[in-house]
Structure formats: structure tokens, C-alpha cells
Amino acid sequence: MPEFVFEGTANLKSGTECDLTVKGKHIVTVSPPPEFGGKEGYCVPEEIFAAALASCMNTLFLLIAKNSNLKLKNLETKAILNMNAEGMEKLIFTNIHFNMKVRLEKDTEWERKKANSVFEIAQKICPLRQSWGENVPITFELNFQ
């Protein structure tokens, strides 16, 4: 399997604000949290990171669901990142929680069992868990709509 390389760029806009671009397209302007000198009202980089992680888990679940012939009406994943800030010299992620809400095309006991199996596989092969191990606790939650 080939190695994948992903790139994104942050360009200083003004003050502490940066424009984020991917493949030459402006995505969003971010600023650090006000506690770190950023401006109120902007997304903070960690929120963008959380959204990207949620998208990654959504994609992983969808690919496994497709291979399992699990038909979905909707899938929403929220990633909640906890960070401990002990001054500027020590900023660490302490927990990542994925809250997944799935709506099945056919909401039967059998389809829910399949969805739970897909969920278990997604947890097991989660790239974050495989990369970070247990250094950062990663928890998962599946809810049916």
C-alpha cells in the first residue's frame, strides 16, 4: 500500500489570524482561543482538527458499512477533543471522543447488529488509535436515530 501525504497551509492574515488553504482553496480563517491572544468569533485550529477527525471517522464507517451491505439514511459524527494547557510550553490532547449518530435505511434488529459490527471494526482500525496507541484515550459512542 502506498504512503499517503496530506498537506494544508496556514498563511498569516493579520494579528493572530491565519487563512487555512487546501489545494490552493481558502477553507477558513482561524484564530487561537482568546485565552491565547486570539480574537473572539473565529474558529480555533483545534475545532478544525476536530471536524477533520470527525470526517475521517465518518468516511471509515461509511467504507466499512458499504462492504457490509449496511444501508444508511444518515451518519453524523462529532469529535470532541480535550486539551490540557499547562502554559505555552505544554499543550497536550488528553482525550478524543467520537459520538456517532446513525440512521439506518431499515431499522431492524438485524441491521442494528450489523451497524454495531461496523462500529466495532471502525474503532479497531481507527488511524488515530493505531498511530497514538493509548497515549491519548480515544472513546467511541454509537447512537441510533
Question: Counting Cβ atoms within 10 Å, is residue 31 exposed (0-12), middle (13-18) or buried (19+)?
Answer: buried
Residue type, 14: S
Q: Which secondary-structure segment (H or E) carries 128?
A: helix 127-132
For 90-133, write each residue's pLDDT tens digit: 888 899 999 999 999 999 999 999 999 999 999 999 888 888 87
For 34-55, write each residue's pLDDT tens digit: 988 899 999 999 999 999 999 9
As a whole number of angstroms, the distance between CA 38 and CA 122 comes to 35
pLDDT the model gives residue 86 = 79
Question: Counting Cβ atoms within 10 Å, is residue 56 exposed (0-12), middle (13-18) or buried (19+)?
Answer: middle
> Please, which residues bridge with residue 99 across strands?
78, 141
Is the pTM of the predicted complex or chain greater than 0.85?
yes
Task: Name the CATH superfamily, with its identifier, for domain 44-144.
Answer: K homology (KH) domain (3.30.300.20)
User: Cα dist. 120→23, 79, 132, 139 in Å?
Assistant: 33, 17, 18, 12
The residue-averaged pLDDT of 65-94 equals 91
As a whole number of angstroms, the distance between CA 54 and CA 122 comes to 12
Q: Distance between terminal CA atoms of the chain?
A: 36
Task: Please state, as a whole number, how many other Cβ atoms lie within 10 Å of the Cβ of residue 82.
Answer: 13
Domain spans of the chain, in order of start: 1-43, 44-144
pLDDT tops 80 at residue 60? yes
As a whole number of angstroms, the distance between CA 95 and CA 80 comes to 8
